[in-house]
Structure 1
Amino acid sequence: MCPPGPHAFLLVIRVGSPFPEIFKRSLEEHLQLFPKRVFDHTILLFTAKSPVTDKMLEKEIKRWPALQEILKQCGNRKHVFNISEREDRTQVTTLFKKIEEMVAKRAGGHYSIDSCDGHFPSEEMKAMVGRASERIAKVQTRRRELKALIEGGKTPPKHLKMVMVGAQWSAKSSAGNTILRKQAFAVDHNRTTKICEMSHSMVADRLLTVVDSPGWYYNNTLHDTCKMDKAEIENIMHLCPPGPHAVLLVVGLASAFNASYWQAVQQHMRLFKDEVWNHTIVLFTRGDWLGRKTVEERIESEEGLHCTRKCSS
């Protein structure tokens, strides 16, 4: 995006956020998308919502050995932004000077994309987009078939009951609020749903009942989930007698749907009868993480999501 290559990488870290060893491993794995010499062109950019002195920053860095190691790999280059003071242009010009000094040491050179390891997978991307288009066509065909069934006399229920299951922080509660068009379930940055919660609303002249359930940790096995949570999840089906019309399996798009994620889904869905999949719809949340990509492209980019095909639609 910056031919013939960027002059600098800004590795952004929020002041006050934890930086344990697992964060360092995650960071290094993502930077493996570039050659190791990316650190020669990198400045650590610390962000804060209030003024941070050099003494305060040094104290923060000393707290986390993993952060010290990353900073060392970057040649101890760092800068601080107070993001609440956007009118303070001196912090921006100072950053420019640090970038210019770094570039000068590289003899005015930029990070050359010509010598990057690997290549842009254009053919793979084209194939993925093609598969995504085929998926969209199948979905549209399926929707036309369902519409024809309704128009042919299959009257939808006037009281629609649905239950929501899924991992923690998959935005189940937010999804329930969107469906019900009201703030029915509490939402914050912590785990909010600890027991099954039910709410009702009239939407499009139809009575809706939505039941939210406690989530499991996204890559925990069923054995790792505490007995109380398992009992709550298992009980959700009995809160909509004689049973829900739909089970919404909520999957957040902010994380990769890898093998451990899929294993956790499979094991927790075993708390219900085998035919649960015939009544399940995958509900994707956090769609803003897709940017300009379609959800079909995301599905085709991750093999784990292909496994959800056992859902009827």
Structure 2
Amino acid sequence: MPLKTGDCETPKLSEMRIVLMGYKGAGKSSAGNIILNREEFDLKRTAQCVKRQREVADRHITVIEAPGWWIDESVDQSSELLKQEILLSVSLCPPGPHVVLLVIRVDIRFKEDERKVFQGFVDLLSERVWSHTIVLFTQGDFLGDTSIEQHIEREGEDLQWLVEKCGNRYHVLNNMNRSDDTQIKDLLKKIEETVMKNKCCHFEMDRNILQMMEEKKQAEEESAMERRKRMSQRREMSRSQMNDFHHLSELRIVLMGSRRAGKSSAGNIILNREEFDLKTTDQCMKRQREVADRHITVIEAPGWWWTPVEQISEILQQEILLSVSLCPPGPHIVLLVICVEHRFTVNDREAFQAYVELLGERVWSHTIVLFTHGDFLGDTSIEQHIEREGEDLQWLVEKCGNRYHVLNNKIISDDTQIKDLLEKIEETVTQNNGCHFEIDKKILEEAEERTAEGQRAKERRKKLHKSRSQIMSEDEMSDTVSLASSDYGSFRSRSGSDKASFSASSCSRDTPYNFNGTELQQPLSEDDISDTVSLGSSDYGSFRSNSGIDNSSVYSSCSKDLPYNFRDGSVHSTSESVEKSGPKGSKNPSMILKLLKRGKQNPPEEIEHNTFL
């Protein structure tokens, strides 16, 4: 029976063109293999589209796998190479794909962030593409007896939004039951129905967008060729100057970069052995080994997150400074490590500039940009990647004197890439007149002074803690402090309702207060603590607001660090460092929250600030 939609009538499609899109690890390659009923797609990640064709179920089927994106990485954070390849995917099966399959794993939660990322990448192809899309769920065996409809409802509004955006078109693949060809026949039928709903039309990319993309690629290729030419000329000049500096018997290298850029992996590739632990660390790591007739020392500086340098900890700054002094008299080269899979933005450029210049401006003449995960580039040259990423990455490469190198992490056994890197390092040493990098003594002195200040502050904290421990020990606090049934120690609010009474036994052991007549004073002596403290029936020791109406008692809720005492029916600061947060009479519930943070009762909702004199 032919399929009918409006005026469109056609038998089963003899040709079918399919594009697979989704995040990394969603199962696009596996889905392609199931559709074509053969292992046509390599399961390794790539930054380029992969095209495969085969006869299946009396149809000539073309499947294009677009490169995947990181599940938590938006379009703006993704590389230009990735975005261009996604645009290219729909033009690799002319005149255009019949359907775009959005691949999602059912065993991974689909949240708002994932929904926004999907929307961003699909919208690269224009709004019209949504009428040609089907959601393809993989790992269907994970569902068990749960239907895909139940799964969609349970996941919530974000997954439901995506399914509805695709016209409520979806299909599920059981990856553990590939021999069941009925699931593929059913998918092909749904694709044909989608074509019918689109009036027998395939999706066709806007020609203006494709033309602009082609012109941009051509301009990038020309710029990339010019960059390669300049690099080759510089290297030839360096080689002509090399004499005694050629083939250094010792090389000292520092690796710098953000976290997850691949510094540890790069160090292992350079040393040709698993010397660096791939776990992140906040300290410099030093490893040494004989490689290619050289004694090589590699220092891995701790990586940074994408935060401004002024917001990072003093410890991290100190470790970055320390990295260049761990290989005396100084490193021959600093390798700035960048993963080619991630978009290099203005924030990345600013971070690199700030962190590198902790070492001083002169360090730039001793730097090389080291790109990792070069396998992601596929047939794209590193120069094309630099041009596509834009001015921020180009600025960094130029700041390093157009010195760069790329490592393919998937072919560690290829020692030619390391030999080439070592040659580039020697050429850089030659350009620096055979000299290594040596950090300015003034920078080190300033760093040492900051370290000394930090050490002195640490010692002060230790002394303070020791002093307070002597004032009130845990054993001493085991003595019972009882309160009489009078108004002493009561905590009253303007509402007039009494709250929980308190006992000294529930106070933090470090609370530096004692009751002395009409006052709660600081500090307690060892003799005072050992005595049982009781309160009479007068109004002394009460904590009152302006109105004098009782609130809940608070001795059980005292925080160990609050510098206050009770006197004349109010609470007084015992430290000049306590800062008044507003004018007299303003509300200050945060002070009460501090007083009651160890208590069981809720703090009064309103306490006048002028209670705290």
> What's the CA shift for 1:287?
1.2
Alignment partner for residue 6 of structure 1, among 71, 88, 97?
A: 97
Q: Which amino acid aligns with 1:310?
A: K
Is residue 272 of structure 2 the alignment partner of residue 181 of structure 1? yes
Give the secondary structure class of the aligned counterpart of 2:216.
helix
Deviations 1:128-163 (A, max 9, x none): 11111111111111111222222x333443111101
Query: What amino acid is the match of 2:382?
Result: V
Distance 1:89 1:130, change over 3 A: same
Structure 1 residue 206, shift from structure 2 partner: 0.5
Structure 1: distance between partners of 2:394 and 2:153: 42
Amino acid at match of 1:128: E
Matches within 5 A, 1:224-239: 224-239=311-326
What TM-score, normalized by structure 2, do the two folds share?
Answer: 0.47
Q: 1:55-85, CA deviations, whole angstroms, 9 ceiling, x for partnerless residues?
A: 2754476345333222221122222234455
Unmatched runs of 5 consecutive residues or more in structure 2: 1-91, 404-613
Structure-to-structure mapping, 1:14-33, within 5 angstroms: 14-33=105-124
1:310 aligns with 2:399: yes
CA distance in 1, matches of 2:214, 2:178: 38
Shift of 1:214: 2.1
1:28 Cα deviation after fit = 2.1
- In structure 2, what residue type is equivalent to 1:215? G
Alpha carbons of structure 1 residues 184 and 88: separation in structure 2 relative to 1, 3 Å: farther
Residue type of the partner of 2:169?
R
Residue 254 of structure 1 and its aligned partner are, at CA, apart by: 0.4
> 1:291 maps to what in 2?
378
Q: Which residue number corresponds to residue 304 of structure 2?
A: 216
CA contact (8 A) 2:152 2:160 kept: no
Distance 1:116 1:137, change over 3 A: closer
Q: Distance in 2 between matches of 1:186 and 1:87?
A: 42
Residues 275 and 290 of structure 1: is their aligned pair in 2 closer, same or farther, counting only changes over 3 Å? same
Structure 2: how far apart are the matches of 1:91 and 1:243? 63
Match of 1:257 in 2: 344
Q: Which residue of structure 2 aligns with residue 246 of structure 1? A: 333
The 5-angstrom pairing of residues 41-60 of structure 1 reads 41-48=132-139, 50-53=141-144, 55=146, 57=148, 58-59=150-151
CA RMSD of the aligned region, Å?
2.3
CA contact (8 A) 1:35 1:117 kept: no
- Gapped runs of 5+ residues in structure 1? none
Question: Which of 76, 99, 105 is matched with 2:197 structurally?
Answer: 105
Match of 1:202 in 2: 290
Q: Which amino acid aligns with 1:6?
A: P
- Equivalent position of 1:153 in the other structure: 244
Return the alpha-carbon distance in structure 1 between the equivalents of residues 295 and 140 of structure 2: 45
Partner residue in 2 for 1:92: 184
Matched letter for residue 235 of structure 2: R
TM-score by length of 1: 0.89
The CA deviation at 1:242 is 1.4
SS in 1 for 2:248: coil
Deviates more, 1:128-137 or 1:93-102: 93-102
Residue 160 to residue 82, structure 1, CA distance change in 2 (3 Å): farther
Classify the secondary structure of the residue corresponding to 1:33: helix
Mapped partners of 2:151, 2:161: distance in 1: 15
Give the CA deviation at 1:23: 2.9
Higher relative contact order (CA 8 A, sep 6+): 1
- Deviation of residue 44 (structure 1)? 1.4
SS state of the match for residue 153, structure 1? coil
Instruction: Indicate the structure (1 or 2) with the bigger Cα radius of gyration.
Output: 2
The residue aligned with 2:353 is: 266
The amino acid of 1:192's aligned partner reads T
Percent identity, aligned pairs only, is 37
Letter of the 1:199 counterpart: R
Aligned to 1:138: 230
Task: Report SS of the residue matched to 2:138.
Answer: strand
Partner of 2:370, secondary structure, is: strand
In the alignment, residue 373 of structure 2 is paired with which amino acid? R
Structure with the bigger percentage of helix: 1
